[in-house]
Each structure stands twice: as C-alpha cells, then as structure tokens.
Structure 1
Amino acid sequence: MTAQVEELEFQAETRQLLDLMVHSIYSNKDSFLRELISNASDALDKLRLESYQNKDLDVDTSDLHIEIDLDKEARTFTLRDNGIGMSRAEVVDLIGTLAKSGTAELRRKLNEAKSAAASEELIGQFGIGFYSTFIVADKVTLLTRRAGETEATRWESTGEGTYTIETVNEAPQGTTITLHLKPEDSEDHLYDYTSEWKVKEIVKRYSDFIAFPIRMDIERTTPASKTEDGEEVPASTTIETQTLNSMKALWTRPKSDVSDEEYKEFYKHVSHAWDEPLEIIPLKAEGTFEYQALLFIPSQAPFDLFNRDSARGIHLYVKRVFIMDDCEELMPEYLRFVKGVVDAQDLSLNVSREILQQDRQIRAIQRRLVKKVLSTIKDMSAEKYDTFWGQFGRVLKEGLLSDFDNKDAILGVSSFATTNDDDKLTRLADYVERMKDGQEQIYYMTGETRQAIESSPHMEAFKAKGLEVLVLTDPVDEMWVGSVQEFDGKTFQSIAKGEVDLDTEDEKQATEALRDEQSKEFADLLLWMTSTLEDQVKEVRLSSRLTTSPACVVGGDMDMSPQLEKMYRASGQPLPQFKRILELNPTHPLVEGLRKAHAEKKDDADLAQTAELLYGTAVLAEGSELKDPAAFAKLLADRLARTL
C-alpha cells in the first residue's frame, strides 16, 4: 500500500540547470556513474559513523556495500547502497530543489562556458552531480529509506520540469537509483551502460579506491562441449558476483604505487570537483602522534571560496573509519581551499567537534599540515605558482591576519604588484634584492585600483628617485599591512603615511640649508593654514614627497588609511572622524603664490577659499571623497568666474 502520489515542480533554477546539462554539458557521459558511486560511498560512511555515535540506532553495518544491476532488455541501470538513506524532507531538499546559494551565478557561468569540459568543471564546483544522470536517462527513479525510520520515499522524474514523490511502506534501508536509459545509439557503442565490460571499466578507472565493495552480478557462459565419452554437454550460464574495486585506501599506499590517474580521481571524489589537482601532498607521521594524510591543492577555485557559510575542511578518518568530511580543525580558514584526508590512529571513533577543538593531537596535526602546504607552495614551479596565486592568493593573504606563527612563511610565498613591472607580480624576496643601497623600508601604497595608486601625488618622489613601491589593491591588503611589521629585517612603510625622507646623506647635506630657509619662509603660512583648516586637518606642513603636485593629504604613522576607514564604515562599524595632515610642495607656483599673498596680508577670506580649494584638490587627487562635494563645486565655480 502506498500513499497518494504528489507531483511537484522543480525550483525554477533547477529546471534551467537541467535543461543546460541535458542539452549542452557533459562531453564524458561516464561521469554520471562516478557521481552516483561517490554519493553512495558518502551515504555508507555516514551510516557507519552514526552507528558509532548512536548506539540505539538499529542498523546492520556488517556488510556495507554498493550494488550495480544491469538489465539489457529493459535498458535499466540500477545502483543501490545500504547506507544512511534519506527522509522525505531530505529528498525534496537535496534532489527536488537546489537549496544552495550561487545558483544564478552557476547559470551565468554555464552560459558563458566555452567548452563542454569547462562546463563539467562548473557542475562539480556547484555540487550538483546527481543531475548528470539525466544525460544518459529518460527517467530516473529513486527509492530511499533513512536508517531508523520505517517509511520510505520514492522520487521520480524525467527531468523536464516536474517530479513525483510518494511515501512507501516497504523498502530496504539505503538508496536505490534506477536509470531508465535512453535508446542505444547504434553508431556509438562506447556508451552502452548495460554492458558489463563498460561498467567494470568505468568503476576501475574512476572509483577503484572507494572503501566499500562495489558489486555486480556477472554472467558467465560455458560453451557447449563433449565429454571424453563423446557425450554432448550443452552450453550453460551461471551468475557470479564480482567486486569491481580494489578498496585500497590511497593514503595508505606508497606514492610510487599510485598512478597519477588514481590520485586525480581520488581528488575529484573527496573534493566533489572536476578540475585536476595542482599539487598532490602525501604525508606520513610516526612517533607520538601517528597519522597519514593525502592533501590536494586544487587548480581552480570553487565558486563559494569567499562564502563564509560554505562547508570547508579536511576529511577525517580514524583507523580508516570515516568520521567527518569537513573537519575545520585540521586546516585554518585561510587554507580552506586545500582538500584531502587525514587518517589518525589514536583518536576515538566517538570524537565530537567539541573534543576536536580542544584536542592536543589535532592541533599538532594541523601545525604539521600547514607547514607542509606552505612549503609545497614555496617549491612550486613558476607555472604552477602563477596558477595557484591567481586562484587563491587573496585567500592565502588572510593568514597574515590570523596565523602569526607562520607569518614569515606566508609572506615568503606571497606575490604583489609593484611599480617595477606593470604585468608581473613579485615576491618580497625579489623586491628586497632589488632595493637600493641604504634603503631600509619596503615601500607600499594601498588603494582601490592600480591606476589610482600610480597617479597619486604620494608617488611623485618615489618615481623621481626610481624607488620601487608595492601596489596593493586587494581589500585584505588594507588589513594585513597594519599588523605585519617587517619581512627579512626590512620594515613595511606606507608612502601615504608619516614623513618621508628619501634623500641620501650627500643629498641631505646639499639641501639642508634650503630646507631650513623654506621652513622659516613658510612658518607663518603653515600656522595660518592649520588654523584655517582645523575642521579638516590636524596639521599643515611642508612636503618632501611631492615634485609636481601642489599638495597631498597624508596620515600619521599609526593612522587608518582612507580605504580601510571606508571599509569599516561600509560594514556599519561606527568610527570617530579622523583628521589627516596636509602637505604642501614649497616649489609649486600655487603654494609659493599663496605664501606671498599671505605675507602681504591680502584678503583673508579670499586666501581661505584658496586654502579650501587646495585641500579639496589634494583629497580628490588621492582618490578619496570630499565630505561636501556640492560646497567644493560651488567654491570652485565662483573662483573660476572671478578669473574671467
């Protein structure tokens, strides 16, 4: 007896994705089986874990396995597991809809994808591989019963906009998926998924490492023969159940015994991704804490890399028993792109997240893994490193804010744009090597764009002296430069903060008298302007960083940059009003003219307007916003009108 069948519509996003996938996505149709086996393996892992944690759960875990059943006549492909299963609500949530953020972005990227291979990578990134079944099937039927529940759920769809769902009273624990295959293409026998040899080949290639047996009944035909007495023995057919995979955990095998293809497929299994790993990192530790690890650095960033709510972490096993697939305690957040497994020997199978947070062994494992990942990045070839930094550089720099133990290592593998080369990034070690004799600071400037930084008045003296400056435009750069003091004994110095003295000892002797004279000449003007602009600035002083601009606005050594202040205010964080320093170029005609006019005691109101305009243009020149643009525009228009 079954409940009434309910017909529901797919979520709008799901319908669009199904249409895209069925008609334009998968170039390798075999991928559907890899997806189904991976999902089944996850279900078996979760059942075994739940049985350890919940002793009242009445389940048999003595023979956890995956079965494949082929029916040539009916053209059906069936895969079943006796894993955790799903409740009705889980079926609707996980299969009837796409309850994930970023769906619109996926549709956009799929439409933009230039090739089927690129589209496959996107499908893996967004974790919706189950839908690949509709590439090979006209109809998909799913029957599932969650462990511990008595009622089962049947889900069925042709992938054309609707699905049916009903409650079923009788069904084995776990999940059974039946694919009603599309008609066979008579011209292409490569995709006959009712063929035993084809299924065996796919499993061996993609899923040999799965820890549970993947079984299939193989038909064996014995040809007709004769006995020694000449008696006819008719042909016979027997059924033999074969296990198609070796079930050898890759992390327990020496690297020399594992092929690159096996590593690639295992990476795709643990990461649910479609790209190939950029680096493979096997690790074995013996002694006080014994564990084995197999880590991967991806070659492509997932779509949700900057989504703080997305699942992250390493798969944790204890003595080859799956514990959890997102153990965040094994890898810090700034290395959240790293995928893989850790198999610890001495943890309890009942370990909880709360225990993991306090566990001394887990912390020791994390420290070792982090150092290994960073050293691997350091030793990458130039080509691989460029790929890595393009995909994950912004994330890695987050570690400069949180992982002070590895600060130097993170800085050592980080790259930055500089004024030395418009196209290439540079490592800090290379910057230090290029520093001029006597230079003790690593100069940098933060800003929203490279163009804004390079055209800033702050850059003028550095260009004139041929001094290289780091061009930092990532939002995270605004954060870490305030907490990292030095690299290789060289301190970081913002060219938009503090006082700048770029003269050599010989130059200082030659210009000392001139500067003393300028200080005396401009002393009255500086005092007057500091008073006149007291609502906007905390000081007006002469500049040694300007060569062509009349003025610039700078911060004190410990002041927050305008960009960082803007970020905090945009996030809703209340901040006091900050005053900065106005620096004047004593050799500029406008500044010299203002000095003479003030010395001659000309109209103070007129001079005050000039001071306001000078300050406003300095703010605009650095790319900041005026507090009252309308008032500045009116003042400028009035002044221009008077010159006509």
Structure 2
Amino acid sequence: MARSSVFWRLSVALLSTALVCGVSPVRADLGKVETFQFQAEVTRLMDILIHSLYSNRDVFLRELISNANDAIDKIRFQALTDSSALVAGEDLHIKIKVDLSSRTITVEDSGVGMTKQDMINNLGTIAKSGTSAFLEQISKDLESGGGADTANLIGQFGVGFYSAFLVADKITVVSKNNNDPKQWRWSSKTNSGFTIKEDDSEPLGRGTKVILEVKEDAAEYLDIGLLEELIKRYSEFIVFPIYVYKEVPEVPEPEEPEEEEEGAVIDTGTGDESTNGEVDAETPEDEDVTDEEGAEQDDEEIISEEEDPTRKEGEEAPPKYDWSLVNDVKPLWTRDPSEISEEEYTSFFKSIAKTDEEPLTYIHFKAEGDVEFRGLLYIPKKPIRSLTHVEEKTRKDLVRLYVRRVLVTDTVEDGLLPAWLSMIVGIVDSDDLPINVSRETLQQSKSLTAIKKKLLRKALEAIKIMMDKEPYEPEKDDPRKPGSQFLDFWKVYGATLKMGLVQDVANRDRLAKIVRFKSSKTALRDPNDVITLEDYMLRAKEGQDYIYVHSGESLDAVKNSPFTEQLVDLGYEVIYLVDPVDEFLLQYYQEFQGTKLMAVAKDNFRLGSEDDEVIRTKAKRGRQSIKSLLTFMKETLGSDKVSSVRASMKLTRSACALSSEQFGYTARMETVMRAQALANPEKVQTVPKQKVMEVNPYHPIVEGLNMLIERDPQSQKAADIINVLYDAALVASGYYLHDHTDHGIRISKLMAQTLGMDPNATFEEPPMPDMTKVDDDEPEKVEVPIDFGDIPMGFGDDADDDDDGIDLEGDDFANEEYDTEIEEEVADKEEL
C-alpha cells in the first residue's frame, strides 16, 4: 500500500504538470538564463501506471467493462437531444469473446464509439478521460435543469484503459462513431507508440471493440469460466447486459409419443402379431413402406448430410457456442422500495450471499447529506461465515462498496461496519465517493468516514425494528415457543453484540439497550425468556444501588453458585453471564445509566443500603465467634493459596467459597485464559494466589471446626479438613483444581477417619497361597467319558416323554415330511 501510494503521488505529479511527450530539451536564450522543458519518458511513465498503480491483474476486465458501460451511457444521453443518434428499440449491450487460436480477448460494446480525433485525444494521451470533455459538451447542449444525471459516468479511456496492458502485449481498438463515416483502428504495444488507420474489417455500425493479445504468463485469462467469475465479482450489477461467447449444452428435444391407431399391431415379443391378444387377419405379415414415406426418409438423410457433410456416421457432433447472459441479477438497491416485493428481496439476498437460506430481516435506504449513497443491508438467519475473524483489521467484508454500480472493494481498512456487525450482508453504492486513478483503492476521505457512520446507524436501526415488532405466533409445525423476531437474532449473534460493548466505546450506550441476559428471575430452560438492563432496573428492589452479575461456565453452575445464595434469599435479581466474552464485558463496561455493575464473586461485594447494614452486622458477630478458626485457617492454607480469610456476607447454605480480589481474575476469567491457544502457563498458575477465603460462620461444619480448634489449637485433623474444604471451595466457586494428587490423598484420609480407621495406616498385601500343595481331603476329580448312545436326541418316539430330550414339536418343527426323512435316515444307518 505504501509503495503504491508513492507511485501514485509520483504519477499524479507528472500528469498534473501537463508534460509534453518529448525527448529533446527546448532551450531559450534569455541572456544568462537558460530555460528547459521537463522531459517525460512515456515508456517509463506507462510502466509506472501499469505495474505500480495496480496490485491485481483481475481489474483489467472491470476497467474495460466500465468504459464500455460509459460509452453506452453516452449514446443514450446524446439521444436525448438527437433522436437519430440511437434507433428506437436498439439493443445496447457488452459482449466478450475469447479466441484460443489467436490468444485474444475481445470486449465489444454498442456505445457511442470514437472518431479518429477521439482516438488521438483519448487513447493517445495518458490519463485523458473522454468523460470530462463529454460532460462539458453535453452540459452546453442540455437546457439548464433538464436531461439526465450525467455525473453517473465514471470516465472512458482514462488511466483505467491502460490496465489492459497488465495481461496483453498488444491492444487493438476498433471503433465507429455516428459523426464519422469511417471506421478506425488504433493499435499499440507497451514499449512503443501507437498507430491509427482506417479499418476495413467487419463494420460495427456504431460502437467500440477492444482486442487484447494475451501475454504468455497471463494465459489463465483465456479461460471463459474465469472471465465469468471476474464479471460477476466486479461488474455483476452493470445496468446493460453483458454476454460471453461460450459453449452451450445441447438440450435434447423431447420425443413425441407415437399415437397408436385403433387396431394397430402390438408386438408381444413372441414373433406373433396380435391386437389385444387376438390375431388381426387383415394386417399383412410383411407390409412394404410406401413410396411417400421412403421419399420423406431420403429427404431427411439429405438434410442431415447437408448440415455437416464432413462428419462421419457415428461421430459426435461438434460443440455449439452461443452468447450467454452473465449479469442476470439487477441492482435492486437502485429501485424504489415500494416497487419491490418480498420475493425479490429474498432472491437478491440469496444471490449476493451465495446461500439458500432466507434472510432474517433487511433494511433498504437512501442516505442524503454530506454524501449520498444507497444501501441494502441484510441480517442472515445463520452466519454466512465464521465470526471468529472479527479481530482482523483488514478483512473481506460481506458489505461490498460500489461506485456507480461497479465494485470498488470489499476490503476496507477496519471494515465498512465494525467487527461486531460483521455478520451483515449487503451493498453500498455511492456516486459521490472519490476514487484514485487506479480505481482499485480508496482515498481516505471524509465521504468514506460519513458512509461508515451512516451505515452503522442504519444497521442499529434494523436491529431496533426487530426489537419493536410485536411477538409472533409460530405455525403449528414450528417447534419454537412464541417470541419476537429479535430473539431469533439474539440466539445466534448475541455474543457478537456483547463484543461491541467491549470494543465500540462510541456506541456502548446504544448497545447496552440491545443486549439480553438470563437472570435468577427468568425461566432457565426457556431461551426466549431473557431481559435487558432496562428491564432489570425497572424491577430492582427499593434502595438497590448495584446491578448484580455473576459469571460461570453454564446456567446451572451459576444458578447453584454459593455466591448467589444470600442475594436470592433476600429477593435480589442476579444476572447470569455464561458467554466467554462476558468477562471482558465486565472489565470494560462497568455501569448502566449511572448504576454500577457488581460482580458477586468479587471481594468488594455490597448489598442495598438497608440489607447491607443488617448482613454486615450479622457477619461481624459471626466473625467474633470464630476468630481463632479464621486465624488457624489463614496459617494452614498459607499466602500461596489465599490472600485473606474472612466471615462471609454472601453464604447461607455453603460452608465456604473462594472469591477473587477486586482487581483479580474471577474463576470464569481464569478458565477463559486457560482455554486460549497461546496462553502462558506460568501466568495462569499464579491466578489462584489472588483469592479470598469466605467462611460462613453459622454453618455446622464451621461450628464443628471451631470447637475442634478450641480443644486443640494445633489439631492436625482440623488442618486436613480445612484443606479439603479449600479444595471443595475451589471447585464450587468454579476454579481450577491444581493439586489433584494431594487432593486425592486428603480425601482418602478423611474417609478413613470417617470409617474409624487409622488414616496413616499402610496397606499390607496378604500372602499368596502355595498352589504347589494339594489338599489330601479334597476328593480327586476323575474324568468319565460320556456315552451319547442312550441319550435321546429329540428325534425318537420317546423324546417327548423324556425330560432331558429336546422337544421339537413346536410350530417350527411340526413337519411330517421332515420327521419321515429323519426316520428313514436312522433306519439306513441301523441297516449298515
């Protein structure tokens, strides 16, 4: 970008000085002062323009199509004052053809065309645009305030025309203008000048044909499929039809079924001719073909031979080529919204988003003011691409920027929309946006900044429209519960909008009214039951000074957290935060409309003014009763595990919990950091040291521990229980348990003590018995051979009476034929 900018400044400086293309200095003797004229090496300047202003070869086709589009626009404007300039109903088009044998690409239009002098002025002068002169001329011809908007023309045969040298060794331009009876041919190579002569090839009638002789290293552009992709990418919404000459598949004509006459012969496949199974005596066995039918067959053979006399019998027909329309999608945003149906909006979305899904909603608008532009923005039901790229500074946007229906870029620095709205798909088209000489990158201008701001407002407006819609009743076969259209949007993109609260400082207040949360007063299993921060404040308790929030890995984990026990019991509502981005949200967004957010897992926890005083007094009394235990717990755990131990104001049913210091990491933040691919293990391991052990002084376990300490201030049993409590508090508070081995040992000791066993006893394996000795009292096992001769096998008459026999008289075996065969087989064996 920097190199391109330098070359651009150099090129503009050279062009703006109106240099004369010459190689010899002009000297003027004025006394002692010598005057020289600047020299411009046209070949070098051309090289700068072609290879430095453009970073992508693909743009050559966009530039040529834009020129062709402008040429057609010019003839339409001329027809406003000169009816003879354009025949009524005349087909205005752009055609592109590839010739592999001559390695050429031809771009032809039915536009205004050029005279010989136009070719010299427009093609022979670098960066000379015919549009400027055309606008001046047409402004004189048209009456003041009349005519069409001629400012829509970008420019024909300016610097953009020379981008064709990116892929071509030689360019030939054939053109015919209404004001010149002759047709002219302009030819040039990059390292030489140009020639103009009268053209005697096929007459154009009117228009321009640009023929590119493709370079050896640009052979891929001879692929018509690639050219179609480039047209759809850059020039899909050009108003005039763009055709490419390509192979078209043959569509076989449907065979008409032969009508069977009454009494017709039906071949049964046996050689007999019959009608409905009866012999037709009137029909002869061998009926000769009539002379007329034979003559018709001969004529058909002659016709087919005349169509392709060189093709042999059985040889495949050569492929057929025809003109195929490429830009069949019309620029919907240029039309009046009142004239567009919902089906058209949906079809257009599927076309630009390359999806079969319908959009969730859309907004179609025209912005006016400092800069005018039209826009059409869609919010998909599902993300068109992954939203994990939102941190990229330079990325391809799903909102593409057009200048007069020609794609300029889909990669704008920082995006046309902020990263947290990168799910939006759409089109922005401006006539006022300034572009540089290459039309490939945008200048940093106030117009672009204004477009970004207005786009953001329109995107937020589309979201607000969804919020304000009345709840809808789903169809009978729709399994979703009743909810608003916005809730469907929130389920998919909620976490992305929360990222906006973190990143977008200017729009935090707007986003804070949009984001939704689960809370302790919403139905946990109903995805539609969510609240806003405004809803929270409307039903807050009287005297409540904070918005209480708590984060965790899941809704169940947060709901059952020990930190929410006291709050819920007192009737306070707690907002549940379960998205990974919520932890960052708490760091960057700390108050809503003057009310601060309070993380209940932090040690700076406070309640409402009245409740806070009552609970704080209760905690102080409890602290006095277990003062010795708190000191013992701090000494037992050490500073590596906890920074302090205190009586808790939050716990009612749990014995203890681990909260983080005011500026430390919560359990959820530690989990998020640990899950990062490039997380620093050493940094993460230091996190558990910044914890506060909160103890419920009124819990039975704590009271029992306190009694144990009072009896034995150095109790090892109490120390073991305290370590187990610490591990349990780690898990219950959502933290990562580091010492898995030590935790297992402590649990084993605690279980042994519960069972009345010595926790320090070692396990002794009992001696294995000597398997070499045989017990004399045990009777010797004797293997007896089994005689199967007398055991009935279920096939004889006695089998049914014998309990040990197999009963085969079920339904599956009640087969007399089968029994008879068995009896005969047994008899044969007995005979032998």
Shared fold, TM over 0.5: yes
Contact between 2:633 and 2:645, CA under 8 Å: does it hold in 1? Answer: yes
* Cα distance, 1:618 vs structure 2: 0.7
Partner Cα separation in structure 2 for residue 531 and residue 179 of structure 1: 86
Contact between 1:313 and 1:329, CA under 8 Å: does it hold in 2? Answer: no
Partner Cα separation in structure 2 for residue 360 and residue 530 of structure 1: 62
Deviations 1:27-77 (A, max 9, x none): xxxxxxxxxxxxxxxxxxx99944577xxxx88952699xxxxxxxxxxxx
Contact between 2:498 and 2:515, CA under 8 Å: does it hold in 1? Answer: yes
Does residue 302 of the first structure (1) align with residue 388 of the second (2)?
no
Partner Cα separation in structure 2 for residue 614 and residue 553 of structure 1: 10
Partner Cα separation in structure 2 for residue 564 and residue 354 of structure 1: 43
Contact between 1:317 and 1:341, CA under 8 Å: does it hold in 2? Answer: yes
Residue identity in the other structure for 2:693: L
SS in 2 for 1:554: strand
* Cα distance, 1:270 vs structure 2: 1.9
Larger radius of gyration: 2
Does residue 320 of the first structure (1) align with residue 417 of the second (2)?
no
Contact between 1:282 and 1:293, CA under 8 Å: does it hold in 2? Answer: yes
Counterpart position of 1:481: 586
Partner Cα separation in structure 1 for residue 634 and residue 722 of structure 2: 10
Counterpart position of 1:643: 754
Does residue 573 of the first structure (1) align with residue 679 of the second (2)?
yes
Counterpart position of 2:698: 587
* Cα distance, 1:317 vs structure 2: 0.9
Residue identity in the other structure for 1:619: L
* Cα distance, 1:541 vs structure 2: 0.5
Does residue 529 of the first structure (1) align with residue 633 of the second (2)?
yes
Deviations 1:462-493 (A, max 9, x none): 22112211111111112212110111222111
* Cα distance, 1:557 vs structure 2: 1.8
Counterpart position of 1:544: 649
Partner Cα separation in structure 1 for residue 370 and residue 709 of structure 2: 77
Pick from 707, 731, 742: which aligns with 1:596?
Answer: 707
Partner Cα separation in structure 1 for residue 555 and residue 245 of structure 2: 54
Does residue 458 of the first structure (1) align with residue 563 of the second (2)?
yes
Pick from 173, 176, 189: which aligns with 2:246?
Answer: 176
* Gapped regions of structure 1 (runs ≥ 5): 1-45, 66-79, 87-144, 156-171, 188-239
Counterpart position of 2:623: 519
Contact between 1:52 and 1:350, CA under 8 Å: does it hold in 2? Answer: no
Counterpart position of 2:500: 399
Deviations 1:329-361 (A, max 9, x none): 211111111111111223234488996584332
Contact between 2:543 and 2:608, CA under 8 Å: does it hold in 1? Answer: no
Distance 1:267 1:532, change over 3 A: same
Deviations 1:307-329 (A, max 9, x none): 56884331111122221245462
Contact between 1:84 and 1:146, CA under 8 Å: does it hold in 2? Answer: no
Residue identity in the other structure for 2:717: D
**Normalised by the size of structure 1, how large is the TM-score?**
0.63
Partner Cα separation in structure 2 for residue 307 and residue 508 of structure 1: 45
Does residue 373 of the first structure (1) align with residue 477 of the second (2)?
no
* Cα distance, 1:500 vs structure 2: 3.0
Deviations 1:600-619 (A, max 9, x none): 33433222212111111111
Counterpart position of 1:62: 68
Residue identity in the other structure for 2:409: M
Counterpart position of 1:270: 352
Partner Cα separation in structure 1 for residue 702 and residue 99 of structure 2: 78
Pick from 602, 608, 615: which aligns with 1:497?
Answer: 602
Counterpart position of 1:36: none
Pick from 718, 721, 725: which aligns with 1:607?
Answer: 718
Counterpart position of 1:287: 369
Counterpart position of 1:618: 729
Counterpart position of 1:82: 96
Partner Cα separation in structure 1 for residue 424 and residue 460 of structure 2: 11
Residue identity in the other structure for 2:496: V
Residue identity in the other structure for 2:344: E
Distance 1:247 1:368, change over 3 A: same
Residue identity in the other structure for 1:541: R
Provide the identity percentage: 31
Aligned residues: 455
Contact between 1:49 and 1:323, CA under 8 Å: does it hold in 2? Answer: no
* Cα distance, 1:514 vs structure 2: 4.4
Residue identity in the other structure for 2:679: Q
Counterpart position of 2:573: 468
Contact between 2:599 and 2:605, CA under 8 Å: does it hold in 1? Answer: no
Contact between 2:362 and 2:462, CA under 8 Å: does it hold in 1? Answer: no
Partner Cα separation in structure 2 for residue 438 and residue 398 of structure 1: 31
Partner Cα separation in structure 2 for residue 85 and residue 385 of structure 1: 54
SS in 2 for 1:547: coil
Contact between 1:444 and 1:472, CA under 8 Å: does it hold in 2? Answer: yes
Deviations 1:12-33 (A, max 9, x none): xxxxxxxxxxxxxxxxxxxxxx
Pick from 612, 622, 628: which aligns with 2:739?
Answer: 628
Distance 1:246 1:176, change over 3 A: closer
Contact between 1:538 and 1:581, CA under 8 Å: does it hold in 2? Answer: yes
Counterpart position of 1:162: none
Distance 1:384 1:471, change over 3 A: same
SS in 1 for 2:587: coil
Contact between 2:598 and 2:605, CA under 8 Å: does it hold in 1? Answer: no
Residue identity in the other structure for 1:82: I
Partner Cα separation in structure 2 for residue 536 and residue 85 of structure 1: 78
* Cα distance, 1:286 vs structure 2: 2.2
Distance 1:494 1:329, change over 3 A: same
Partner Cα separation in structure 2 for residue 557 and residue 84 of structure 1: 70
Counterpart position of 1:430: 535
**Normalised by the size of structure 2, how large is the TM-score?**
0.50
* Cα distance, 1:265 vs structure 2: 1.8
Residue identity in the other structure for 1:331: L
Larger relative strand fraction? 1
**Which stretch shows the higher mean deviation, 602-611 or 346-355?**
346-355
Contact between 1:329 and 1:363, CA under 8 Å: does it hold in 2? Answer: no
TM-align CA RMSD: 3.8
